[in-house]
Amino acid sequence: MLGLVSSLRTLIWILVLTLLIHSPLSYAISNIADLKEVGIEEKLGNYIPLNLVFHDENGKEIELREFFGDGKPVILTLVYYHCPRVCSFILDGVLSAVNNLDSLYPGKDYKILTISFDPSETPEMAREKAKKYITKGSTKSWFFLTGSEESIKELTRAIGFNYKKDGDDFAHPSVITILSPNGKVSRYLYGAQYDPNDLRLALLEAADGKIGSSKLINKVLLFCYQFDPVGKKYALQALNVVKAGGVLTLLLVGMLLTYLWKREKKDPNSNGG
């Protein structure tokens, strides 16, 4: 008679194969190429090209290097100005977070750089968007830019920001990127609402040139929640929850298999009947 451990291991492998073939997880795996079209491929430690030329709110050409090199980290937000909802939530989230930062002040301790990734947008559109977020006291701390397709592509590629044209709009990730004073990618903060403590820590690390890390839980939550344009809020996506559950199940099964394998190796006689 086969030992209990060997039989259990066989059953577990059958379960694993069943999950891979029939569960939504197999759908997720088969669409990895599609997922890469929209999202973030983290490039921590990478430098953005500071020689890229964009246009400020007044249409003046300006190189990215003008915003760096003075010892202040930069909060980079990539949006498009005619975005119906999500981009405004990202900018609102940044505004809310910086208004609640403890002992760090825009202009004095850091800058905010918002750049449109839609090359058809104009400085006039940037200026109109800036009116909502720039006050008289913050004119030298938050900047709104537009640029050519070439400059946009180089910048988004440097930070791993993947987006896709979707009709008149874009499918894109909800994320802000924290850059060091010399343009190094230090950390990503995901979602459209940002914890002031997380942002403060990210800015302090970036100011010292350190490389941070993205919280796994934030990535999981962003995967399980997507923006609902009807309800105007982030809603739980059942299919993505099932996918995440499938991954967790496979991890637990893998841990159990490892345990059984080590136990069998330690006691070879456990297979005997």
**Could you give the number of structural domains in the chain?**
2
- 212-271 pLDDT tens trace: 766 555 555 544 444 443 443 444 444 444 455 555 666 676 677 677 667 666 665 555
| Low-confidence winner among 26-40, 80-94, 122-136, 186-200 (lowest mean pLDDT) | 26-40
Asked if 165 and 52 sit in the same domain, the reply is yes
> What integer pLDDT is reported at residue 76 of this predicted model?
99
Please tell me whether residues 138 and 71 are part of one structural domain.
yes
Quote the pLDDT of residue 166: 82
Tell me the average pLDDT across 155-184: 94
pLDDT at 247: 57
Average pLDDT in the chain:
79
CB 92 within 8 A of CB 233: no
| 168 within some domain | yes
108-119 mean pLDDT:
97
**184 has a pLDDT exceeding 70:** yes
- Band (194; pLDDT cuts 50, 70, 90): very high
Q: Has residue 222 been placed in a domain?
A: no
Q: 11 with 108, same domain?
A: no
Q: Is residue 224 part of a domain?
A: no
Tens of pLDDT, residues 27-77: 343 344 444 578 899 999 999 999 999 999 999 999 999 999 999 999 999
Percent of the chain with pLDDT over 90: 54
User: Is residue 228 included in any domain, yes or no?
Assistant: no
pTM value is 0.69
Claim to verify: residue 136 and residue 258 sit in the same structural domain: no
Q: What is the 3-state secondary structure (H, E, C) of 81-122?
A: CCCCCHHHHHHHHHHHHHHCCCCCCECCCEEEEEEECCCCCC
Residue 187 lies in a domain: yes
Cα separation of 81 and 66, whole Å?
A: 22
Answer for the pair 201, 210: CB distance below 8 angstroms, yes or no.
no
- Mean pLDDT over 184-195 rounds to 93
Range of the domain at 18: 4-35+239-271
- Cα 181 from Cα 218, distance rounded (Å): 25
Q: Which residue has the higher pLDDT, 273 or 161?
A: 161
Residue 201 in domain: yes
Is residue 169 within 8 Å of residue 121, measured between CB atoms? no
pLDDT of residue 84: 85
The pLDDT score that the predictor gives to residue 6 is 57
Same domain? For 194 and 244 the reply is no
Is the domain of 206 the same as that of 119? yes
Share of the chain above pLDDT 70, in %: 65
Residue 236 pLDDT: 44
